[in-house]
Amino acid sequence: MMDDEFYPPPECPVFEPNEEEFADPLGYINKIRPIAEKAGICKIRPPPHWQPPFAIDVENFRFTPRVQRINELGIHTRIRLQFIESVAKFWDLQGQGFKLPHVGGKALDLYGLHECVRKLGGFQDVCKNKLWNSVCNKLCLPKNFGTVLRQHYERILYPFDIMKSGVLLEALESNENLESLASDVETKYNE
């Protein structure tokens, strides 16, 4: 028959050695081992002024520091990285390699570009209303990069937008009803 009553375990033995006893800490631990093993655990309070010896060989100790970009831990950064990964995967599935373009000596923020164009009405509206300078302002780039941004968007992101909207590329390439298909893409993608 099982006893359901709780019996508290025995108290953990606490050892408080003086400075003479603790001059050799490992020797002291060996000395108290039989008592500590019976309890399964023990606590040792070293003497008040005891300091552990410095045990690192400074001459031979080496480590490789890792670069940890704390700014990339936030949710917005993860969303950006997932977007770039999905664009890269899209181009890999097309059989073309994907390389992140550089503008003004820095990697182009494709997610920021995509979001900015989307908020301005989509690629067709930005082109029709000549808003590429506005896109440059929002991405903190000089206005003379408007044409470069348009080319990168048209080459990299616009086919991705078409794929996301579900419109077939063959229909676009046949140039039949190009304007209506482009507006369908914008409408579906901005929903």
Domains of the chain by start residue, with CATH: 8-62 (no CATH), 83-190 (1.10.150.60)
pTM higher than the cut 0.85 = no
Proportion of the chain above pLDDT 90, given as a percent = 28
How confident is the model over 99-125, as pLDDT tens digits?
A: 888 888 888 889 999 999 999 999 999
Higher pLDDT, 57 or 156: 156
Nearest to 47 by CA among 22, 12, 14, 13: 22
pLDDT of residue 114: 93
Whole-Å CA distances, 178 to 86, 95, 129, 159: 26, 25, 18, 14
User: In the predicted model, what is the mean pLDDT of the chain?
Assistant: 82
pLDDT of residue 14: 94
Q: Inform me whether the pLDDT recorded for 173 exceeds 60.
A: no
